[in-house]
Copies of this chain bind each other. A is one copy, B any other.
Amino acid sequence: MTCFVYDYADATDIGRELLGGKGAGLAEMTSLGISVPAGFTVTTQACVEYMRTDGVLPRGLQGQIDGALAQVERATGLRFGDTTNPLLVSVRSGAAVSMPGMMDTILNLGLSDAAVKGLARATANERFAHDAYRRLLQMYGEVVEGINGHLFEDELSRLKAENGVQQDVELTTDHLAELTRRFKAIYHNRVGTEFPQDPSEQLAQAVRAVFDSWNTPRARAYRRANAIPDDLGTAANVVQMVFGNKGSTSGTGVCFTRDPSTGERGIWGEFLVNAQGEDVVAGARIPEPIDRMSAALPAAHRQLVETIELLEAHYRDMQDIEFTVEEGTLYLLQTRTGERSAQAALRVAVEMVSEGPLSKQEALARIDPAQLDQLLHPTIDPAADYEITCRGLNASPGAATGALILDADTAETRGRAGEDVILVRWETTPDDFHGMLPAKGILTARGGLTSHAAVVARGMGTPCVVGCEAIAIDMQARTVRLGQTTLTEGQVVTIDGTTGDVILGEVALVSPEIGAHFQTLLEWADEVRRLGVRANADTPEEAAKAREFGARGIGLCRTEHMFRDDDRLPIVREMIMATSEDDRRRLLEELLPIQQSDFEGIFEAMVGMPVTIRLLDWPLHEFLPRLEEAETPEVAARVRALREENPMLGWRGCRLGLLRPEIYEMQVRAISRAALATLERTGEQPQVEIMHPLVGFGNELGELRRLTLDTAAAELEQNELGLEFAIGTMVELPRACIRADEIAEHADFLSFGTNDLTQTTLGFSRDDAGKFLPAYLDDRVLQDDPFETIDQAGVGDLMAIGVERARATRSEIKLGICGEHGGDPRSVIFCHKLGLDYVSCSPFRVPLARLAAAQAALGELSPREIEVGG
C-alpha cells in the first residue's frame, strides 16, 4: 500500500516533493536533533489523489493517520481527544515550492467543550484554554466551512466594546468563555450543525480543508505569477501544538539567519512575548526586534542562536525560522530557505563564498536572475529636494512614484492600463495579491517587516513601506490621511522602500547602479558564460548605460526616432507627401547630416564593440498625423491611402526599403559617413552591422545587400581606411526561420526578432492580445505569457529550425536575438541551448542576461563537474 503519512522521526530521506517544504524542514530538523514539536506529514501525493478523485481521500489514509497520531501521543505522553489533558495539534499546509501565506492552517485541533475544561485544569490556565478554543472555532469556521472571518472579528469587537476593553489581552476568562459561546452560535447559524466535538472528525476535515486550499483563487494567482505547476498539490502537516501564549515565559517569533533586505550576517527578526504565531505574521500586534529576546527569554535566545548556527551549516543558506517558546522551552516550528531581497541574495551568496561554504559556481547557480530586476529599479535622486511626510518600515527596496490607490481591484485595473499606481492598505492579505502585482509600490499602515505585504513585495521586487502609522484610510470618502495632509485617491505620492520614507507628490528618481556584490557575481558570471550579451540601445546615452552594465555591443539600434524626433518629423512628412522620387531624395538629403550625427554619437559611445543598426522598419503611416488631425485634404488623402487593415503584416520593413530605396540609401550613406568620421576622430574602426528588418525571402536580402554595398562603396571610396560593414537581417517571420538557408546566403549575421516572430507564429497581435491572453493565462490554456518568455515549443522550435538551416548554408554566420526575450532569464537559457552567439536586451536587463547566460553554461555541467564549497 502507498505510504501517505510520514512521522518526522522517520522521514529524513523522503524529500520535499512528497513532504512539502515545511514537512521536509521538520523532518530534517528532527534528524539534526533540534527541538521541534512531534508530528507527521500527510504527503502531497495524498493531496494529488484527493484532487484527482474530486475530493475522495485515498483508501487507507485514515488508518495511517491514526497510526502516526499514536506515535505522536507516545512521544508527547498526551492523548488526542483526551478530556483531561488533551493533545492539541495544528494542521498546516506546506507545498514542495514555497507559497507563503497562500494556503490554510488550523491550530488547536483537539479542543471541544469537554476538552477545554481539561486543558484549563491541566495548564492551570483557564483563560489560556478558552482563548485557544475561541481561536479554533474561528479558524475552523473560516477554513473548513468558509464562514466569513468578519463575522468573528465583528463579534470580538462588539464584546470588547460591551466591556469597555481596548486590547485582546485585556479580555478576561469570562469574556473569552462568552466569546466561545458566541462563536459557536455563529458556526451553528452559518453551517446549520453544531461545531464538531469529535477531534477525529476535526482532524479529517482540517486535512481536507488544507488540501482544498491548494486551489483557492489566490493560490492559483500566486502560482501563475510564479510559474508553479498546478498539479503539485500541498502536503498537510499534523503537528503537536506548543503554546507561546502561556504567560511571560512563553513567546513566539520569526527570524532570518541574515538580514533579508541587505544580506548582512546576524539574526534578524521579531518576537512577541505571550503570543501565538499568527499574532506576529498577521501584523495585528507590532512585535519587538529579536535582539531584545536575550533580555526577555535569555535561555531560549541562547538556544536559538545555537540552532541557527546548526541550520546554516547544514543548509548552506540563509534560513527563515518560526519558533515558539513554551514556558521557557524553545521549539522550532519551521525552517525554510529565507526569502530575501535581490541585494541580500547577492550579498549572502558572495559572502558565503568568502566564508567558505559555497563555491563561486554554487553562488552563481543560487541567484534567481529574474529577482535581480529589483536592483535595477530607480531610486530617489540624491540631489532632489523634497520633504518627508511620514516614515514607515523599509520593507522592500527601491523608490516608486504613482497614484494612490485604495483597493486591489482598482490597482489591478489602473495598473494594467499602464498607470503607475501605489497600492495603499491598512495591511494586505493574500486576497490583495492581484492588485499588488501591477502596483509600482505598496504602502501599508500596519504590519512589520515579516507581514504579508513585506514578504510579497520583496519577492516581487516591488518597493514597499509597511507599518506607516501616520496613515489613516477612509474607504467611504476614498481618501488617505498622511500625517497632517488628506489626499484623495488618485493623487500622486512617492515611497522609498529602501528608507521607509513617504513623500507627497512626485520626486525625481535616478537609475540604479550596480553594487559591489552584484559586480563581483557578474564578474564570476562572465568567467563562466559562453553566450555574448549586448544591449538594445537607440541613443548614445542608452549605449553608455549599456556599457556600464556590461553589454559588449549593441544588438539592436532602432532608427525610427531619427525620423520622428521633432526636428525631423516635418521633413519626413514632406518626404512622404512628395509624389516624385526626385523630391523624396532632395528631402532625404536634408535628413542625412542630422542622422549622420545621431550615428556618430552611438559609434563613439561603443568604440571597440559591434553596433547593429536596424534600418527603418515602421510603416510610413506611423509618421503621418491621425486622419482627424490632417491639416490639408492632401495629407488626409495620403493618410487614407497608406492606412492598413493589419499594419503588422503590411508595407513596412524591407518591403518599404525595396520600394523606396532612396530611404535606405540615405540611411546607409549617413552610417558610412558617421563611421568614417568616428574612425578619423578615434582612430578605431567602428564595427558596424547593418540589419534589414522583416526579411522573409532570400531575394529580398540579396537585393538589399547589393543596395547597401553599392551605396556604402560610393561613400567610402574616397578613403582607404578599409572600413567594412557586416550585413544581415532580423529573423522575425516564420518563413525567415523555415528558409534561413536561402536568407543566410546573403547574410553575415541573423538576429531573431522574437517580438514579431511571436506575433506571427502564434497569430497573436500584441496590441490586441489583451482581449484574450489574460483569460488564456487564467485558464491555463497557456502557462506563460509568450511575450514575456519565449514559447519554446512553438516559436523556439522554429528558431531551432532557423539556426540549423542558417548554419547549414554558412557555418560561420553570427546568430543573435534582439527581441525583449533577450532579457528574460528563461529565454536566455534557451538561447544558450540553441547555440546562439549572443543575446541583446534592454540595458537594464543586461546584468540579468549575464547571470542567466552563466547559469545556462553551468546547467550543462554534470553534477560531478560542479565545484563545491566548504
A798 to B703, CA, bound (A): 25
CB contacts (< 8 Å) of A776 on chain B: these are: 655, 658
Q: Is A631 an interface residue (CB 8 A)?
A: no
At the interface with chain B, which of A103-111, A168-176, A692-700?
A: A692-700
Q: Is the CB of B739 within 8 A of A782?
A: no
Q: Contacting A761 at CB < 8 Å: which of B644, B703, B738, B756? A: B738
Q: Is the CB of A733 within 8 A of B699?
A: no
A781 to B697, CA, bound (A): 8
Q: Is A6 an interface residue (CB 8 A)?
A: no
Q: Contacting A798 at CB < 8 Å: which of B644, B738, B772? A: B738
Q: Is A771 an interface residue (CB 8 A)?
A: yes
A668 to B648, CA, bound (A): 34
At the interface with chain B, which of A41-49, A151-159, A596-604, A788-796?
A: A788-796
At the interface with chain B, which of A411-419, A434-442, A674-682, A762-770?
A: A762-770
Q: Is A645 an interface residue (CB 8 A)?
A: yes
Q: Is the CB of A696 within 8 A of B762?
A: yes
A801 to B738, CA, bound (A): 10
Q: Is A870 an interface residue (CB 8 A)?
A: no
Q: Is A734 an interface residue (CB 8 A)?
A: yes
Question: Closest residue of chain B to A703, judged by CB?
Answer: B781
Main secondary structure of the interface of A (DSSP, over half): helix
A136 to B20, CA, bound (A): 99
Mark A residues whose CB is within 8 Å of B: 644-651, 655-656, 658-659, 694, 696-697, 699-700, 703, 732-735, 738-739, 742, 756, 759-765, 767-769, 771-772, 775-776, 779-782, 791, 793-795, 797-798, 801
A667 to B732, CA, bound (A): 37
Given contacts A644-B767, A645-B648, A646-B767, contact A782 B699 (CB under 8 A): yes
A-B contact pairs, 7 of them (CB 8 A): A645-B765, A646-B768, A650-B765, A658-B772, A659-B775, A738-B794, A738-B797
Q: Is the CB of B768 within 8 A of A647?
A: yes
Shortest CB distance A139–B (Å): 35
Shortest CB distance A464–B (Å): 34
A771 to B734, CA, bound (A): 21
A659 to B779, CA, bound (A): 10
A692 to B375, CA, bound (A): 46
A807 to B696, CA, bound (A): 28
Given contacts A648-B646, A793-B739, contact A761 B760 (CB under 8 A): yes
Shortest CB distance A457–B (Å): 32
Q: Is the CB of B658 within 8 A of A763?
A: no
CB contacts (< 8 Å) of A756 on chain B: these are: 763
Q: Contacting A696 at CB < 8 Å: which of B646, B697, B775, B794? A: B794
Q: Contacting A764 at CB < 8 Å: which of B649, B658, B767, B771? A: B649
Q: Contacting A649 at CB < 8 Å: which of B763, B775, B794? A: B763
Q: Is the CB of A700 within 8 A of B781?
A: yes
Question: Closest residue of chain B to A696, judged by CB?
Answer: B762
Shortest CB distance A607–B (Å): 36
Question: Closest residue of chain B to A763, judged by CB?
Answer: B733
Given contacts A699-B782, A763-B694, A763-B760, contact A768 B738 (CB under 8 A): no
Q: Is the CB of B735 within 8 A of A772?
A: no
Shortest CB distance A623–B (Å): 15
Q: Is the CB of A647 within 8 A of B650?
A: no
Q: Contacting A735 at CB < 8 Å: which of B700, B739, B742, B794? A: B794
Other than the given A734-B798, A735-B763, 18 more pairs (CB < 8 A) read A645-B767, A646-B647, A646-B648, A648-B763, A650-B768, A650-B769, A651-B768, A651-B771, A658-B772, A658-B781, A659-B775, A694-B763, A696-B794, A699-B780, A699-B781, A700-B781, A703-B779, A735-B762
Question: Closest residue of chain B to A783, judged by CB?
Answer: B699
CB contacts (< 8 Å) of A781 on chain B: these are: 658, 697, 699-700, 703
A645 to B733, CA, bound (A): 19
Q: Contacting A771 at CB < 8 Å: which of B650, B699, B735? A: B650
Question: Closest residue of chain B to A700, judged by CB?
Answer: B781
CB contacts (< 8 Å) of A775 on chain B: these are: 658-659
A794 to B742, CA, bound (A): 11
Question: Closest residue of chain B to A767, judged by CB?
Answer: B645
Question: Closest residue of chain B to A695, judged by CB?
Answer: B763
